[in-house]
Structure 1
Amino acid sequence: MSSTAVREPLAGLEDPTEEPPKSASSKNYKGFVAGVFSGIAKLSVGHPFDTVKVRLQTTDKAHFKGPLDCLLQTLRNEGVKGIYKGATPPLVGWMFMDSIMLGSLSVYRRALNDNVFNPRPGLMGEQGKLPVIGHAMAGMMAGWTVSFIAGPVEHIKARLQVQYQAEKSKRLYSGPIDCLKKTFRNYGVRGVFHGLSATLLFRSFFCFWWGTYDIFTRFFQSHTSLSTPAINFWAGGLSAQIFWITSYPSDVVKQRVMTDPLGPDRKFPRWRDAAKAVWRENGWRGYWRGFVPCFLRAFPANAMALVAFESVMRALPA
């Protein structure tokens, strides 16, 4: 699955509305450790795509001819390290984001099912399953919740990714910690959380992600003989791409907001100012600039994350 700059939850996770097995609590450490390796795998595969995406989103049309030209120019001028600029913040932040995203998603699913959609058990004492709209609502609320961590992480990442100088001495920020310190020293907490409203809007589209995830899961369960992990993988990958198709224009505007100069040189005091600038510069095509690397990233990044996750889970002792 993708994110981008967004970090996606693992496709193989069980539905949080279902009760975990009694022995699950003793194995919690396995999921945490495996999640670390999953994040490393997803970062290794997905971050170069994300760097190309962000650079295409935040530069004028004449700077790069397209995704391939952006990749080649970056490698030629900055080497392999260039396509991994800004990788540290998401690698560190994804562990926390996964915990909050999936934890809150589980809480919201159960709360909606118990209090809104199925507050009373059926004749046999069984509680009904959460409907698609419930999954969509839980996804949106979980997206808002994780935004308060994802916002600063993505803000720092975006500023590092648009530093085009090959020599470190010529860059404004030497790394993520330096970027965070300078931003906080000069602009305070508001500077660190710059672009939070744009992040909240972008993650509202998680409703499409988790709503379609449930739809795809039910379809594969009813119409195929795929195993449960395979169903989770395909449903997760397809729903992530639905998410990006619906949310991508808002991500473009978010990146413009996050890479906007802070202080008196700020160009976009409001979200709509950035949205208008994208339209003014490139029309409707501007809202889809960089979409190809983002879309192509979804499946390989998620597939590698799943392979790493499952491999580590099997390797760790019970």
Structure 2
Amino acid sequence: MVQASSGKFLDEETYSRLMGFVAGMFSGVAKNTVGHPFDTVKVRLQTSQGTGRFKGPLDCVYKTLKQQGPRGLYLGFTPPLVGWVLMDAALLGSLHNYRMLLHKYVYPEYEKLPLSGCIISGVMSGWTVSFIAAPVELAKAKLQVQYGPGTTKYSGPIDVIRKVWAQSGVRGLYKGLISTLIFRSNFVFWWGSYELITQWFKNNTKLSDPAINFWAGGLSASFGFWTTAFPSDVVKQIVLCNDKCDGSFKAWRDTVRDVYQKQGIKGFFRGFVPSFLRSFPANAAALAAFEFVLRNSGAKPS
């Protein structure tokens, strides 16, 4: 039994389930602090295809700093700061809970959850968090593509939500849900590779657990997830930023066709460099924070 702040006691399993969500909140803070400038550059490159606005990631950084200063790289920071706390709490909290449930009911004969269980729980957590992520990413994307005078349509994340709601209601806020679900289906590669890399480090190195979490988190996110998921992220961002798109599966397919016709295969990798560079430090910090809090909270391992 674990004593809660109220003086009442929680059983170990309930406490562990709750701590998964708490640890996810710390992960969200770490991820957004490290990764947001990279994400801004990525989104601007993805949504400016065919406009000639930027020659590449370095040109995007230079022009953003010249025109808007360092603040330009942190436009849209508030929704993901709040959003990443909520999303990582939901993502990693549900991941931890799905792992516990699978271990208890599907893989009870295993001492440790096998690779298949890690993959299944990872994909399920990705689909779960999509219902929180869709409106948060909508607000973030719309703010990130405001380039200054003449393009400033929204004053902040609340203004985005308010105007989208007034125009299209709930459907408008969730216009990117299909794209978000497709994008996060690639979690099969992230959590599968995270488990494989973690086990390799444990079996072949003398690194501490926090160091292993850091390196496994960064490598799995960069090479396991973003290299496979990036094309669907490009489509997702365009769907979110296109006011004429309703976010349906048909709209997702139309966007895929439009990107291919205008840019070819390379169009699906526009903005890849800043995204790839961001993914390692942001996710390494995030998963190290998550595992550290979970491990030191005394929560039952999954």
TM-score (norm 2): 0.83
| Structure-2 separation of matches of 1:105 and 1:217 | 16
Verify the 8 A CA contact 1:261 1:267 in the aligned structure 2: no
Task: Return closer, same or farther for 1:36/1:96 CA change in 2, 3 Å cut-off.
Answer: closer
| Structure-2 separation of matches of 1:213 and 1:219 | 10
**Are 2:32 and 1:43 aligned?**
yes
How many residue pairs align between the two structures?
A: 282
| Structure-1 separation of matches of 2:179 and 2:194 | 24
Report % sequence identity.
Answer: 55
State the secondary structure of the residue aligned to 2:53.
coil
Matches within 5 A, 1:1-318: 25=15, 32=22, 39-61=28-50, 62-116=52-106, 118-119=107-108, 121=109, 127-166=110-149, 171-241=152-222, 242-262=224-244, 270-303=251-284
Verify the 8 A CA contact 1:41 1:305 in the aligned structure 2: yes
Verify the 8 A CA contact 2:28 2:86 in the aligned structure 1: no
Shift in Å at residue 41 of structure 1? 4.3
String of CA shifts for 1:144-194, please: whole Å, max 9, x gaps: 000000111001100111111247xx6111111111100001110000111
| Structure-2 separation of matches of 1:253 and 1:177 | 24
Gapped runs of 5+ residues in structure 2?
1-10, 298-302
Query: What letter corresponds to residue 252 of structure 1 in structure 2?
Result: V
String of CA shifts for 1:189-245, please: whole Å, max 9, x gaps: 000111100000000111111111111111111111111111111111111111001
Higher RCO (C-alpha under 8 Å, 6+ residues apart) = 1
Verify the 8 A CA contact 1:50 1:293 in the aligned structure 2: yes
Shift in Å at residue 87 of structure 1? 1.0
Task: Return closer, same or farther for 1:243/1:129 CA change in 2, 3 Å cut-off.
Answer: same
Task: Return closer, same or farther for 1:268/1:52 CA change in 2, 3 Å cut-off.
Answer: farther
| Structure-2 separation of matches of 1:74 and 1:221 | 42
| Structure-2 separation of matches of 1:106 and 1:306 | 12
Query: What letter corresponds to residue 105 of structure 1 in structure 2?
Result: L
Query: What letter corresponds to residue 39 of structure 2 in structure 1?
Result: D
TM-score (norm 1): 0.79
Give the equivalent residue in structure 2 for 1:16: none
Gapped runs of 5+ residues in structure 1?
1-20, 122-126
Shift in Å at residue 76 of structure 1? 1.1
Task: Return closer, same or farther for 1:179/1:311 CA change in 2, 3 Å cut-off.
Answer: same
Verify the 8 A CA contact 1:46 1:301 in the aligned structure 2: yes
| Structure-1 separation of matches of 2:255 and 2:45 | 15
| Structure-2 separation of matches of 1:60 and 1:243 | 23
Query: What letter corresponds to residue 225 of structure 2 in structure 1?
Result: F
Verify the 8 A CA contact 1:268 1:274 in the aligned structure 2: no
Displacement over 3 Å in runs of 4+? 21-26, 28-32, 34-42, 266-269, 302-313
